Amino acid sequence: MDFNKSIFENKNEKGSPFLVAHRGVCGANIPCNTLASYKIAADLGADVVEIDVTKSKDGVFYVFHPWMEPVFLKSKYLCDLTSEEIDNLRLLNSDSVETSYRVPRLSEVLTFLKGKAYINVDKFWTDVEGISRVIRECGVEKQVIVKTGVDKETLDKVKRHASDFMFMPLVWHKDEITDYLREQGINQIGTEILFTSEDDECISDEYIARMHEKGLLVWANSIIYNEKEMINAYHSDDASLTGDPDKGWGWLIDKGVDFIQTDWLVLLKDYISKR
């Protein structure tokens, strides 16, 4: 990936959707959101890696999914711990057994991924100013893709502290924000669409075509975070792996989306290569 080129140039040269590794590539003894999971993702050819950001009690940023401490650490919440306490924690593997892997600091992850892949910074909205500062200190401004909801207070913070970063709003069902963003001087590169029905406006052929006509990209997810709140109308990793991948990943690809976020990077990559 040539980060001196625009993301649009890189997408055109790729000729197929960008593959996004959700929290890296993890499993068995290697926990998600670790330097190891990101190394594996980069080595396996992920175009984008997704990272979650949280903050310690004393203001240090870490890569960890907030509120998942009972699952991955069996500890207090990181926001209630000091950075010294967090640095001494060890993550659990898929059998809830302690590993040697620790919770990495945001600065470590950004530095490690510099020059390797685009970096989707999730939970950016929790501290737009602070996270932006770390991104700039690490020199990865050309690689990061940041996302937030579309409330005015958060968008004002993005405009104030991160207007030059590649930005994608989170769009549920229908996009009512793109035209506004283009007037605000925010560097919008597209939208992340979240849809529960195939009839949702944001996954329609017409909407995706309009976005492409505007020179904007569309990000979709095949991951399942919670089966009670599907964000892909069941065109998911699970549907692709346990049923017909043409009706899961293939359906998203045929829709013309530009990113697919997955928990099964290698199998999606293999599926695309054989289409």
CATH code: domain of residue 152: 3.20.20.190
Contact criterion met (CB below 8 Å) for 51 and 62: no
Contact criterion met (CB below 8 Å) for 259 and 265: no
Residue in 156, 48, 133, 34 with CA at minimum distance from that of residue 89:
34
Q: Which long-range contacts (CB under 8 A, 24 or more apart) does 177-185 make?
A: 177/150, 178/211, 178/214, 178/216, 181/155, 184/155, 184/159, 185/159
Environment class of 44 (CB within 10 Å of its CB; exposed 0-12, middle 13-18, buried 19+): middle
Instruction: Please report, for residues 92, 98, 236, 264, the alpha-carbon distance to residue 27 in angstroms, rounded to integers and kept in the order given.
Output: 11, 14, 19, 10
DSSP symbol at 92:
B
Is the residue at 178 inside a domain? Answer: yes
3-state SS, residue 198: coil
Average pLDDT, the chain: 97
User: What is the pLDDT, as a whole number, of residue 182?
Assistant: 79
User: What is the pLDDT, as a whole number, of residue 214?
Assistant: 96
User: What is the pLDDT, as a whole number, of residue 42?
Assistant: 98
Phi-psi region of 11 (alpha: psi -120 to 50; beta: other; left: phi over 0): alpha
User: What is the pLDDT, as a whole number, of residue 51?
Assistant: 98
- Dist CA 54 CA 78 (whole Å): 7
Is the residue at 75 inside a domain? Answer: no
The model's pTM: 0.96
Is the residue at 67 inside a domain? Answer: no
Q: Which long-range contacts (CB under 8 A, 24 or more apart) does 7-14 make?
A: 7/118, 7/145, 7/166, 7/189, 7/217, 8/189, 8/215, 8/217, 11/217, 11/258, 14/47
Contact criterion met (CB below 8 Å) for 169 and 147: yes
Kindly tell me if the per-residue pLDDT of 204 is higher than 90: yes
**pLDDT tens digits for 143-195?**
999 999 999 999 999 999 999 999 999 999 999 999 999 788 999 999 999 99
pLDDT band for position 138 (cuts 50, 70, 90): very high
**pLDDT tens digits for 205-244?**
999 999 999 999 999 999 999 999 999 999 999 999 999 9
The alpha carbon dihedral of 183, 16, 262, 161 has a sign of negative
The number of domains in the chain is 1
Is the residue at 1 inside a domain? Answer: no
- Dist CA 248 CA 273 (whole Å): 16
Bridge partners, 48 (sequence order) = 20, 118
Is the residue at 163 inside a domain? Answer: yes
Kindly tell me if the per-residue pLDDT of 263 is higher than 90: yes
Radius of gyration of the chain (CA): 18
User: What is the pLDDT, as a whole number, of residue 183?
Assistant: 86
Is the residue at 91 inside a domain? Answer: no
3-state SS, residue 221: strand
Is the residue at 196 inside a domain? Answer: yes
User: What is the pLDDT, as a whole number, of residue 163?
Assistant: 95
**pLDDT tens digits for 75-122?**
999 999 999 999 999 999 999 999 999 999 999 999 999 999 999 999
**Average of pLDDT values for 19-32?**
98
Rounding to the nearest 10 degrees, give the CA dihedral for residues 55, 58, 59, 65: 0
Q: Enter the tokens of residue 27.
A: 């499993």
Q: Which residue segment(s) compose the domain that 121 sits in?
A: 16-52+116-274
User: What is the pLDDT, as a whole number, of residue 149?
Assistant: 95
Bridge partners, 55 (sequence order) = 61
**Average of pLDDT values for 194-201?**
98
Is the residue at 101 inside a domain? Answer: no
